Structure 1
Amino acid sequence: YWNTKYLQIYTKTNMSTMTDFVSDSVNSFTLDNNIDDNGNQENTHPIYTETKIVMDYSTDFPSLPLNVVSGSTKGSGISLKPAVKCSTVTRRITLTASERAGRLYEGERDMDCAEESKTCKKIASLTNTLIELSEARDGSLCIMVTGKGPNVDDAQARLIRELQTQITLSIKIPKEHFGAIIGVKGATLKKLEADYFCRVIIPKEDDGSIKIIGPKIHASKCCDKILEISKERSKTTSEDLEIPRKFYPWIRGPFNENVERWINSGNVKVNIPPVNVNSEVINVNGDREDVMRVVGEIKRIYSEKLEKVRTLSTKVPISQRRFIVGNRGSGIQEILKATDCAVEIPVDDCDNGTVILHGDQERIVDALSMVYARAASILCKEIPCPQWMHRYLIGSKGTHLQQLFPDKVALKIEFNDNGTVYIEAPQQEFQTSLATLEVEINRINSEMDHQIISIPAEFHRHIVGKGGANITKLRDDYGVSIVMPPEETNSLDVIIDGKKENVKKCLQHIKDLISRMENEKTRDIIIEHRFHRKIIGPKGESINKIRQQFPSVNLFFPDANDNDCDIIQIRGNKTEVDKVYTYLTKLNKEFIESSYQETAPIFKEFLKRIIGKGGVTINKIREETSTQIDLPLDSSPTGKVVVTGKKENVKKAIEMLTKIQEELANIVSIDVPIPPKAQRRFLFNGRRLLTDIENECGNVFFNIKEKSNKIVVRGPKVPVENAEKLVKDLLKTLNEQTEEVTIEADASYHKFLIGKQGSNLQALREKYPTVRILFPEEKAENANNINLIGKNDEVAAVKKILEARIEELRETVELTVDVPLEHQKHFLIKGSEVLKEIQSQNGNVQIFFPKINSNSTLVTIKGSEVCAQSAKNRILEIVDDLKAQVTIEVIIPNRYLRNILGSYKNAYNDILKECNVVIKLPDRRLAEEYNASGVCLGDIITISGRPENCEKAKAALLGLVPVTREIVVSREFHSALIGRGGKDIRNLQQLYNVGVQIPNESDNSDVIKVVGLSDKVEECIADIKSRVEELEKIAADNILKSFKLTVTIPIEYHQKLIGRKGVVVAGLRNKYDVQITFPKDEDKSEDIIIQGYEKNCNECKENMLSQVSQWESMITRCVKLDPRYHPRLIGTGGRNLRKLNEDFGVDIRLPAKNAEDPSLVVIAGYTEDDILNCIEHLKIEEEDYIDLLIERGQYTIERNVAPVQVQVKRSVEITGAPWQVNSHEQFPSIGTNLPITTLPINSVWGSRLHK
């Protein structure tokens, strides 16, 4: 086969050389995908041929013309061409009056010029050029064409064809020369037409004249060029010689010597047909003399060999043929050169291994000896080796193979995809190498294993894990190779390679994992983010209860800071996931129902008594009513108690709070009836009217019940009476003709309209009692709107007064205030922060401080009179504070400053505002410097302000210094306090804003440190203590649960106790709250371990033994069934087996995988009849199924053999190039007396530049 292929390549073309298909490298390990079922290699490799093109530098790369200066070899720098040629060119075309296409007469001249202009415009647009026309008095036409070079050439050709006078010439040349004029694919003809601006018409077969149409001068030049081509063509000839193919080797000569000699000695080409061409005609073409000389020499060789050549046939094994052919056919060529005999390997002989020799009778025996010697020099063989073993044989980068066969240069090993290894070696090394390879294959086969497991595609990502974590762990734990199928193949097969015992364990682990995942699913539920903390519960109590109730289920909550995400993911056992989903849906419904909110009318002075000592009273109400009661902060402006929960529970809690308040004080409740229209007015704008009355009376609360026409007023007796009177007066006003008006005024004016302590507002109410003036809250949406409600005439009067005051506030006046120079800086530091605050609080007045270095103390204020005066008073107040200002020092260790400015930043800012002081923190660079008293300068904080404010700020700052408390917690509880990934400890720190330091295991310490503010630290320690108490209870419970009991049950009943997919054992575990551990298959033990509470373990043991005794009372019979029938007996998911058990009331037990008799099936039942009926049914089904298998046929699919592809490689050789150093003129030798020749200016190296 190899000889045939290489001979076919060799004879393909006279310039072809064979590509080396056989690598000589020791480390060449090739994978051959083209092996048929019989072990024969298919010919699907492409055939490579290489063609060599010889080019002459002087003719194929002619020199560009240069400006030659006579009598001098020096070139002028001015005449040199620029290094970069301009891409835009301009060309001039001149047409005389006689050359113009149309004869122009005086009357027609203008009209014809217009036609020429149109033609030029059309050509300019087609060629993307700029064309300008100019006509002289003598009728000549000058055309300037500007554009890119190729475009200008195209435009010039079009212009000459359209505007210049055309003539037609005819010439006759032999028809056999037409091909040279047309050229390859018409290239020569196109070039002629482009160069001479003519159309060349080649005649048909019946006419021998060629017509040339174009301008006179160009047509004549084109005619001369065609005649020149014809003349050159007449000097060449072509000869065909019909010679039998077997003589081609001698015509070519050894290694193609004759053909190369003929081509190099003259202008001739010899074309010998290749093997795949069904022709025996040799073509010789070129110069007449050279052709005749080569033809004569070929005929001489043919006549000589025709008399002497004899033929001899011999047989060589097909596998050894390629050794005869050699690398690129060198073997055949060497035999030809040494013995003058040709070796032929027929292409159509692929079975009997015939090799044919042609040559002289005297030398043919020598050639035969060389053929046998080359064929027997190397031996080869294919040995079976599964493909998965290949990588173990090769090793990393071939290292293992190199260790097996060191210094084996001539050895070649190929690994094939058909499960074989091909070995090739010299005769003396072959047997040793073959034995080494077979021993290594047997070793790998005994130690290693290869398994393929089919896994559903949806589980692949779980096996791989995030970033390949799971599959990497499997590989590391079991020391095996796991190959997942590529996604694009849609394959389900996962390949596991490694040591046998490791592969077995890994396979079982993956099967268990798949079995568990098949019974799992994921489900999402949407619950508002505000309810997530309730689902988790305090310290995770609620979520832990869910996990204990449904142990196989995991809940995944979104990040606590992601308030926009409401999705909770549930993952686990299918049944339990659905149960948890239902439970959470019900829980969510309860949360929504219990999110009703209402404000309780509790007065601030009674809050402490309602809360009770240590929160006993308020906590009792929370527990009894299952509500959330939020108490107001001390800084809260409203001071209202908010109760949240189910509507009925909220009502109950408010009644309990109100009852306690009534018992503590003389609280009365009065109902005021109101009409429905008035009710809407009271509830309008967020109860703003009622809120205004509450603020005016103080210590009263209004409540309007749903579907009621009454307002309930609660509070002490006197305020309630006042509120009742105001409500009745308002109702009386509302019953009359009332009006509601809105006035817009800048929010900064409101305090001036209200007056000091509400004096202005009170005066208006006394004068106009029916009018309620409602100012908006600071953070209200319409902060500039003032609402007026009352009688029409009074509302109009109040509106007029307020609008007049607003106008007064808008009028500008100018005031001055005296501010000492030393205090002016206080107003302007920190971006004029103090100054801007004064302006925003006083109607945005304009305040102008004097320029720096002006020594002026007058500050100018511009704005409304009231606002300007208020700003002046505020400035004087600040100046007075600055005059009374003192500075004190407080020592706080520098390490705590980060906490004060970080964790407690809000508290620090509150100190600045409430105490009205300036706090200066120490410079970081002073951390290692000390004063005379030995105090670190980096620990000294200065506080400036009034003496009483400084002392207050100092106490507040010292309160921000964190303290450290210690609590002793047993080391066994530390990990539980930390939580998974430190989650629990982080939540604890965030909840109390403290730092909790838990010692490392290596420290052997039980002391936990809590760092933070004093009150928060105490709360955190109390929380830790409560958690530890719970953990101690859990630990004590775990000790009780650690009781173990061993029960001995025969192995054959273990699977029944486990049940299908573990249903039976799971039921026992859930019923008795125990852990049941069965022995592994390889242990062959009968002991089952039960762990849990002692009582539960004993009850579970009795249950299991009772079931076993019931099974042992059953009658058993054995029957042999063909193992091929077992899958059909089991059915999909065991469906058929379960149905048979139910129909016949029996228990069918199939043999294990490693059973000694795989056909033995055990059938157990309570009656003999049931067992016999079942056996009879199984035998009938088995017989039918085996008959069906016999009837089925096996078919094979024919392999399609790809056709041989021929690919041509071309190489180029250039001769006579300037970089070839064989020119004595260009590269003279040093020290030789060669004549010095002056290089002409047009040398290929160009002229030398002298600057």
Structure 2
Amino acid sequence: MQDAGEASTSVRTPMADPFPSLGEPASAAPAPSKPQREARPDVSSEDAFPTLGASSAQVPRAAPTAWVSPVPVIQRVIHQATISLRLSEEQLAKLNTVLPKVQARCPTVKIEASTTRKTGYTTFIIKGANEAAVQLAKKELTVQLARRVTTAVLVPASLRAHVIGAGGKHIKSITEQTGVRIHVPPRSAEAADEAVGDPLLGEQMEITIEGDEIHVDEAQALIQAIVAERTSKISQRLSHIEPEFYPFLGGARAEALAASEGRGEVMIKVPQQRNAPILVQGERASVAAVVDAMEAQVRDMRASFQTLSLTIPKRQHAFLVGNNAADILAATQCHIELPPVHDVSEVVTIRGPQTQLPLALTAALERANAVTIKVVDLGALHPQADAQHAQHLVQWLGPRTPRMDGVQVFLPAATALQTGRAHVEVVGESAEDVARVHRELEQLVRAVGPDAVRVATIDPLAHEWVAGKRGQHLKTYEGRGVDVLVPPEDSGRSDILLVHRGAPAERDAALETVLRDVVAAAAPAADLQTAHISIPAQYHEAILGPDRTVLNALMGEDRMQVTLGRRSVVPPGLEALTDDSVVVRGAPTAVERVVARLQQMAADAEQDSIDSRFVDELNVPGVYVPRLIGRGGAAVTKLRDELGVRVDFPDADDTSRAKSVPIVLTGRKECVAEAKARLTAQVQRLMDETTVRLRVPSAMHGALIGPGGKYVSRLQDKYGVRILFPRGNDDADEVSVRGGKRGVAEAQAELLELLAYEQERNQAEEMTVPQRAIARILGRSGATINQLRLESGAEIDVEREAGAGGQAVLRLRGARDAIQAARAAVSAIVAEVEREAELHLTIPSQFHAQLIGQGGQRLRDLIVRAGGPTDARAQAQTVRFARDRSDGVVVRADQDVAERIAALLQSEAQVLADRVVHGKVVPPRLHGQMVARGGRPGSPWQQSYGIQLVLPHWREYAELDAPVNAAELGDADPAHIIKVLGSPANVQQVFKDMDMVIANDAQRRRPRPPRAARVDDADDAAA
């Protein structure tokens, strides 16, 4: 086999075919390969630059064959997170303890830290295959090292519910993700519910976030993202646009409306009611663009539009609405404005561009005159009847008017009946159909004269008994030819209309019979009682409750009628109603019960109003007023929310701070008393409050605060004080303790005790060491210095690089005994370095691999033989070979040990240099035996004689020189010649052993001579 060291420096040649054909000799030369460009040496290759402690041997890569496809390379996914923190000196000092702790908790991640002295920021790069582990390590670092901060975020009060989320979902998610504390203030009583409009222009609330600076910023960004998502879409009401322009903004059949919405994700709602504003909803930028476009369109319409008025009979107005009006608008760009249905006016207004008004007028007249109209005059058909009869006819005709496709019947409105215009209009496009419906309608009306109508006055509460269950009584009356019309229940009317449809001869008898039955059905109502009481109108809303729920609860399941104010009809025998009137009608016991409960509720409401107006006053020093109000009025809001008390403070000025000021409390008496007690107790605490300022070195602040503020939070909770550490431009060494005198004194004593303890544990000393000892103190990848830290318990940092004197400065921190132990350990290393001698040897690079040996074992044996260290780490630092293929070798150890190691290395190198190459003819069948004896590392001939065998087909064969005994080899087959590398004497001894192997093989293969034998014939033998 080839030597490992030499193999690493040789140029790779194509490997022989591992599967030769049967007809091809095994030693055939490999096929030539494509020429390769010479690559630059890989300085990170362990083969090219071997080191002690790692094997330089490498398994050669198998040549690819056509039988298999190349194996795909699987790349690992690496997750990475980066954070930058501005750390104080004290935080930098404890960085060496924080990183191992975080690394121990998250063993699957790798953390790299670097500090930029100019900016003061320390950047941490966290890498790992598991993203969750990377995020956990990031969170641990920020909690341990980042500054504790408190920040406030202003968000629209109307978005409070969205920020919190359903069941606190959003806040819980943010706190779990970031580990911060979030305080959301309670909903303000003045804050309007989420309404249509821009939330950014409404009331703002302040959300407080506490935690480390990194996660506070992250939580703030998450909250702002929620707000941005909600405020990116807004709603805007356009109440300043006149309703006359609504049809033009909506466009003909909503075509213009769709075109406006094409500007983005915008929805435009143009109401049908004239008293409602236009609503525009969508993305903020798109809404603004659409609103601007609509306002510009309205300005143009105001400047250019004109109106034209004309009179069109009221009955024809119905044909100027709906699709007809939309068609006119689309064709002429003009809109038809009609008076309300209840208005008797017949004036029609056409609005639009002046040039289009004549066209719109023509279109309107065509639409209005394109129909046939016939009128049924109720008064003319019954001239002897009064106006009341016409109202009865209209009430009776409502559900009984003839119906036909394409024909509409318009009954007169109540206002028209009051003016005597009892006209029923029949309108349609077909004159024949209109005439038919007109005839049927006249026949119906003509048959019902004043003598066919009766009116029964029945208490409204008895109407249900008159109608019967599911209207069964009414159906019975209809079977007798009498229609009984009961007014709606909520109308409060007592008149029931009876109309006979049969022959006049039976009319009076039928009406009288049905009238008696109706009165008999309402007989149970004779015992109903009516009560009229007076309750101030301001309490009516409280009596009704939302959707009359409170009033329904008062009435229970009893059938009753309760009306408030002037809305009800005046019952017979009662005085005129007022705004304070409450009329209760029903069974006597139920009326008595409801009246009593109404009066009690009114009394309670009045007393509650009186109690809620209880006023008290509290005088407090003006200097405490800001503290009583709280940040952003939080304290006052809390009193109002919890106790329902209004707290009024006087206007603050410079003079009021120096004297007592009155605080006015308004509300229920007991609530005012509780609020006054709370404010008084708070004033007492403020009067007892004192502030103590301690001088604490800034380097000790982190130790007093504790990880994540643990220590300072415990002190604040334990003694009820507030401990403030300096920020920004404050005095860097001043710590303030504020609170009650006793609590401040106890907190101060504990702080000073903790400070003394931490100062004892945080002693700092500097130590100068030679620059050349720094590498030994640090160790590979910081292993030595980390070991020193663990063993001594002190922090050891390289404070400054070596100056002109070649001396570096170490900073030692910790308890005094820990510093002493660390100083002693560092001094021992320095003394060891100073005792060391550094010898530089020149040994040809081609011998380095042989001196190192497989896995560095030969070099380790040499060091131990010379009396050097036995520890592998120390041995690696004792002898170092050059990595740049040069001949340099450095030996670093104690003077005598270094000299012995150098002598051994030079001696071994000389032995290697004295080796020569000899050739030996050996049949190929014996090459395997020769390799077993001297061609493998650790084989007998290599161990005994220090020689190396190289076979003809090996890669190193061509690299070795020609044999010195080439003349002796003659014209032997090159495939039979084995090269033997070693000293001449040892080579000759190996040749003898090889000759013996060859002779033994020849002896085994020599054919045996034939033995002498005689064959006698059997017959001869018998003779």
For the aligned pair, the TM-score class normalised by the smaller chain equals: under 0.3
Taking structure 2 as the reference length, what is the TM-score of the superposition? Answer: 0.27
